[in-house]
Structure formats: structure tokens, C-alpha cells
Structure 1
Amino acid sequence: MPAKKDPRDTLIAAAMELAAERSWHSVTLIDISQKAGLSLADIYPLFKNKSDILRAFVRKMDMRVLADLDSADFDQPRHDRLMDVIMARFDALAPYRPALKSILHDFGDVGLADGARAAKTGFASMRWMLEAAGFETGGIQGSLRVAGMGAIYARSFRQWLDDESPDYGPTMALLDKSLNQAGGWDSRLGKGLARVGTLRSKFAQRCPKTATDHGEAVAD
């Protein structure tokens, strides 16, 4: 007996098929439910709205890319590994390119209330892509890496959407150039933060001594 298909996957697939056929703005939850062969009552406990379905699609792509990682490549330079991770993501997205063009044309049809959640999902996705390439994403530098990767990915994504070359050469060239530039900024930032950390350590070491000297002077 075949395994029962996850209704979430069924709804995501239905939504993407409809987006490829017409304007994403015109697609309703009723359309998606009918395409998926499910009722609105089936959708209700799974997704709040269309934006929720899109966020689930993004997470599904994250899982697909992470599941295909080859541990043999973990020793690659981080730049090369990040290139591979992002290009693998574009390969995973390739079957949905018509749908993604429709969704992007309507800016995801995201309302104000969903904008923050959509941004949070996007940043979480970029954080996982960076982690998969061996980059640390904690602290100030890590947060800036995630934000920078989001900007680079958005620019490369737009290039990829219209890239009809067999190997996505123009997209790879843009991604490589952007990552090289960001790598230079990241290196300078790391050195600057290291200097700040050194100064803070020196200051912290001097503070107890200063406080002790002040206490002795008061006692005298």
C-alpha cells in the first residue's frame, strides 16, 4: 500500500501549479483547495493564507538542498562551497521557475501583516545556506553575513529567473563576483571586530585594578 501523501506537499504543489498558469494575485485558497482535491477545512489547520504556503515552499527547498549535501565536500573553501549550495538551490527551484516569475511579479501578494514573517523566513533560509557552507552566523558579524547573503541571493535570483543558458553561466558569474566582494568586506569587518574585542579585553583587565586603587585611596 503506497504511503499517504502529505497534504502540505499537495497544497504547495497545487499553489505552484496555479501560479505558473496565471497571476499569483488572482489565485485564491479556494482555487488551491480545488486543485489539490482538498477542502478549505483541510487547509485551515495547515496554512493561514497563501503567504504561509509560500513560506512552507521556501522551507521545503531548504530541506531539499540540505538533504543533498555531500559531506565529502566539507573541506572545500567556503567560497566554493557557498557557490555550490546556492547553485544547488537554483537547480531545485528550476521546475518552479514559471510560478516564481508570477509570484515575483506580484511581489508575493504579501500584505503588511505577513511582510515581517516572510522576511524572517528568508533570513532563516540564508542562515542555513551560510551554515551549510561553513560560515558562522552568530553575533554581529554573523548577522551582517546573513543580511548580506540575502541581498546577494535576491540579486542572483533575479538574474537566474531569466537565465536561459544551459549551465546558468551568467548567474554563476554574478554570484561569484558578488561573493568575492562580500568576502572582502567580511574580512575587513572581522579584523575590525577583533580589534574592538582586544580593546574591550584590555579595558576589562584594567577596570578591577582601577576600582581597587580607588577603594584603597578612600580607606586612607
Structure 2
Amino acid sequence: MPAKKDIPNALITAAMKLAADKSWHDVTLIDIAQAAGVTVADCYDHCRGKGDILRKFIHRIDRDVLADLDAEDFNEPGHDRLIAIVMARFDALAAYRPALRSILCARGDLGPADSLRAIKTHFGSMRWMLDAAGFRTGGLHGSLRIAAMTGIYARCFKLWLDDTSTDFGPTMALLDRELSKAATWDARVEKGLGKAHRLCGKISKKYHRFAAKKHGSSQQETTAQTPAQTSGSSATAP
């Protein structure tokens, strides 16, 4: 019995090959389905459009990078781990550079809705890269880290696309510099958020003490008024 066709991956592979051969803007879903050897109905079942195929491609790259992580990598400093992970990502993307140039030239050929989904996908990828390097990505600080990492990756990606060196040395050097600068800002943000958190904690404690004191005073007033009200009620009873 022949193996079941992996349609999503077949569509991704076909789409990237077509993008490398001609303008991404001119690639249609029918082209992709035919190149993948599947019906248009099968294509419809597995993707919403070209933008969806690109998001699946990014997820595939994410998984390839994460699958290659070694347990020993987690013993390295976070800065070094992050450089290794991002460079591993560029290595995984290397075979697709012609296609990526075509896609970027057409700006992904995305409409507004797909553009928003693409941004969300890239933020998700950077979250995983940071998490894999041991950085916390939760809360406001984590969100700022993800946004900064997305910007750094975009600058390095632009250089990497035309980096003709065998080891992508210029790209790695830029990444190292950008991450070093970001680390300084990250420390300042962490310090600032820590101060803000402590200040909010103090304000909250003062508020709760004030509320408790006011509540206690109200109870004492109510207790003091109750006997007088009871006495007045007895005197007027028939």
C-alpha cells in the first residue's frame, strides 16, 4: 500500500520551488496544487491561501530548529544560546533564499488580514526562539523582549539574504552586536519594571490598610448607634 501523501509539506515544498522560479505575485494556488501533485480540493482542505502556506512554512522551520536543540545547549549562557538558535534558523532557511527574495519582493502578496496573521506568526516564532534560549517571555517584559527580538531578527535577516560568506560571519557579527545592545536595554527595562512593581505593591498595601481602617470605623459607628436606636424603639412602643 503506498504511503499517504503529506499534503501540507508537499504544498510548502511546491510553493517555495515556484517562488524561486518566478515572482511570488504570479504564483497561484492552482500552480501550487499542480506542482505538489494534489487536487485543488486537497489544497483547499489544507490551506486558506498563499499566506497560510507561508505561515506553515515558518512553523516547519521553527520545528526543524527546535528539533536540533541538544540538552547540552541549555548549559550555555543565554546570549550564546540565542545566537546559536538564530544562526541555526538561518542555516535551515539557506536552501530557500531565492524563494524568500521573491516573496519579500512581492511583500508576501498578502492582504490586510493575512498581514496581521503573518505578524502574529513571526512574533510566535521569536517567542519560541527566546524560550528555547532560556529567556522568560511572559508578561509585559516578555512582550517587550519578543518585540525587540523581532526587530533584531528582521535586520539580521535583511543582511543574511545577501550574505555570500560560507559561514554567514557578517550576519552573526551583526546579530551579536544587536543582542549585546538589546541586553543593556533589557536590564534597564527589568530594573524599571521592578521599581514600578514595588511601587504598585506599596500603593496597593496603603490602599488596603486605608480601606480596612475605614471599614473598621464604619463598623464602630454602626455599633455605637444600635443601642440608641433600640432604646428609642422601646420608648415609643404601645
Q: C-alpha distance in 2, partners of 1:115/1:66? A: 25
Q: C-alpha distance in 2, partners of 1:2/1:165? A: 42
The reply on whether 1:186 has 2:186 as its aligned counterpart is: yes
The reply on whether 1:18 has 2:28 as its aligned counterpart is: no
Q: C-alpha distance in 2, partners of 1:80/1:176? A: 9
Matches within 5 A, 1:1-220: 3-218=3-218, 219=220
2:225 maps to: none
Shift of 1:197: 1.1
Q: C-alpha distance in 1, partners of 2:153/2:90? A: 10
Decide whether aligned partners of structure 1 residues 200 and 19 sit closer, same or farther in structure 2, where only a CA change above 3 A counts: same
Q: C-alpha distance in 1, partners of 2:75/2:154? A: 27
TM-score, with normalisation over the residues of structure 2? 0.89
Shift of 1:136: 0.7
Q: C-alpha distance in 2, partners of 1:28/1:135? A: 40
Shift of 1:108: 0.6
Shift of 1:75: 1.2
Shift of 1:217: 4.2
Q: C-alpha distance in 1, partners of 2:188/2:85? A: 24
Unaligned runs of 5+ in 2: 222-238
Decide whether aligned partners of structure 1 residues 2 and 92 sit closer, same or farther in structure 2, where only a CA change above 3 A counts: farther
Secondary structure of residue in 1 paired with 2:10: helix
Q: C-alpha distance in 1, partners of 2:208/2:177? A: 48
Q: C-alpha distance in 1, partners of 2:30/2:61? A: 25
Decide whether aligned partners of structure 1 residues 159 and 2 sit closer, same or farther in structure 2, where only a CA change above 3 A counts: farther
Shift of 1:4: 3.1
Q: C-alpha distance in 2, partners of 1:10/1:176? A: 35
Deviations 1:142-183 (A, max 9, x none): 001111111111110010000000111110011111111111
Larger radius of gyration: 2
Shift of 1:206: 2.1
Secondary structure of residue in 2 paired with 1:4: coil
What amino acid is aligned across from residue 44 of structure 1 in structure 2? Y
Unaligned runs of 5+ in 1: none
What amino acid is aligned across from residue 126 of structure 1 in structure 2? M
Identity over aligned pairs, percent: 56
Shift of 1:2: 6.6
Shift of 1:51: 0.6
Q: C-alpha distance in 2, partners of 1:140/1:175? A: 24
Q: CA RMSD in A?
A: 1.3
2:224 maps to: none
Q: Which runs of 4+ in 1 moved over 4 A?
A: none
Secondary structure of residue in 2 paired with 1:56: helix
TM-score, with normalisation over the residues of structure 1? 0.96
What amino acid is aligned across from residue 94 of structure 2 in structure 1? A
Q: C-alpha distance in 1, partners of 2:217/2:51? A: 66
